[in-house]
Amino acid sequence: MVVALIAFHGLRTGHLRRLLLTDLRDGRLHVDGRVILLAGPVRERLAAWLDYRNRRWPHTANPHLFVHYRSAARTEPVGHRWVKLAIGPGLTATTIREDRILNEAHASGGDQRRLADLFGLSIDAATRYTATVDHPALAGQR
């Protein structure tokens, strides 16, 4: 579920940690003033995660989407280490997010506004990603 939210929707670690159950409504994620329509594979993983979460910690008062054995007894978010462990070795949230944004930059033909809207980027940040589209050093690598 963690990797799916990053890989499909480019969420940052901080967003993942702070997500509340109430941020997910009607197949959409509400984060930082954005409403993100969840991709089908993300919705499938979400359903599986919520089923597991409810079976494992049926009486937790923790309002966060992600909990673990220690945070289930409190109302605090999971830590950065938990997210890192959930992603697994050899990858980072930043690497997955950057790859997703680069993929969208190329798929959209360098549409900066699209990147800004989809991933909550500033236009300056979106420009850095779209500068890779049609870059001579990357010719032939698609």
57-84 pLDDT, tens digit each: 999 999 999 999 999 999 999 999 999 9
- Residue 7 sits at the vertex; the CA angle it makes with 6 and 11, to the nearest 5 degrees, is 25
Where are the chain's structural domains?
A: 1-89, 92-135
The pLDDT value recorded for residue 77 is: 97
Give me the half-sphere count of Cα atoms (radius 13 Å) on the Cβ side of residue 15. Answer: 22
Residue 25: per-residue pLDDT: 94
State pTM to two decimals.
0.86
Angle, helix 112-119 to helix 93-107, in steps of 10 degrees? 140
Tokens coding 68: 């673990």
Cα 134 from Cα 100, distance rounded (Å): 17
DSSP 8-state symbol, 75: S
- Picking from 21, 42, 43, the residue whose alpha carbon sits closest to that of residue 30 is 21
Q: pLDDT of the chain along its 142 residues, tens only?
A: 999 999 999 999 999 999 999 999 999 999 988 999 999 999 999 999 999 999 999 999 999 999 999 999 999 999 999 999 999 999 999 999 999 999 999 999 999 999 998 898 898 999 988 988 876 666 555 4
The 8-class DSSP code of residue 47 comes to H
Q: Which two tokens stand for residue 44?
A: 């499938």
